[in-house]
Structure 1
Amino acid sequence: MLGPWKCLHREVLADYKVFRIWREQVQPPRATKPYDFYLLEAIDWVNVIPVTPEGQIVFVRQYRYGTKEVSLEIPGGAVDPEDPSPLEAARRELREETGYAPEHLRYLGAVAPNPAILTNRCHVFLAENVRLVGAQQLDGAEEIEVVLLEVGEIPERIMRGEITHALVLAALYLYMLGQQGLAQPSR
């Protein structure tokens, strides 16, 4: 039977600004002995699909130190402790990274970035009728270029390897399902 595993012992191995590393000794139901699992406890994230009144999608191009590459993505980031909700985090991230603000934000769903080792969710929002309302509000470590793409360009950009961020691909998939009338938001 599938279900929760019993945690026998839990300890923090490291605590950093963006995540905490846990070692948990667990007893799976069918196992004859306990196993150690290592988890990254991270705060939730948001991704925003900003659509202009003309139907273009606002993307951002930025250098990602982890892959040492420039990445073409949609706006997104962490749900900060000061954010009252993921929706407000999405609004903030969109404004900071692009200078755009939405007429309306709609929740499309959430994905588990890597449920084997990560504890968080990435919430996806559709920002409708976005308009440029000011300059970007970047922090010292951000260098972001704003790029407007037609919806029809996105599949080709994905297939050419220009859009590779897994959470961005998941967000775009949720958006495309909704556009085709194949799915409704999960909440």
Structure 2
Amino acid sequence: MTPQRLSDFFPLALQSLTKPRVGLRTILSIQSQRSDLINAGWLVIILNLILTASLTLFGPIPPESPSTVPLATSAIMQALSLFGGAFIIHRVGGFFGGTGNFDGSLKLIIWVNFILFLMQLPILLFSFLGQEIVALAMILVLVVAITQLTATIMELHDFTEVLPVLFGILGCSVVFGIALLFVLGLLGVNSPTNV
């Protein structure tokens, strides 16, 4: 079944937690224009910004704390991460013999971000219970993120080996993080000092 409405994506996201490759196959089968994918990417960014602002307001970290990132900086970081991540998944995967295209990479990164957004919604409720529970929930989200990325990149590029894909993700994440800090520095954005 191909999802038609936004509500159709919620059961698919739940299924993707246990069967990420099946969920991605369904997402990749959706016919869409690149402009639709870019709009979906911006929607996920906006949803994540709303979640970030809510966690800042209601979470255990005070909003005026030096470890919080300004909303404009967060928007730039998320846009660079989402669209830059799709570019890196496409290029690096293609360099190592992957068969995926850029639109598929964009669908993959949007889909994984949507799943992670849904997983982080309960953190808002946990934030009232204490910082330790929030930290445990964030560790769970990180584990799911790595699992989802590994499985979906393997599906997109038809890779069969798990460890090279996992090490590729970790290596690209480090390089991309350094590059992101450099770009943000060029834009004049100050990074938080007490992270």
Q: TM-score, normalization: structure 1? A: 0.30
Q: Which structure has the larger Rg?
A: 1
Q: Which has the higher contact order (CA 8 A, sep 6+)?
A: 2
- Greater strand percent: which structure? 1
Q: TM-score, normalization: structure 2? A: 0.29
- Greater helix percent: which structure? 2
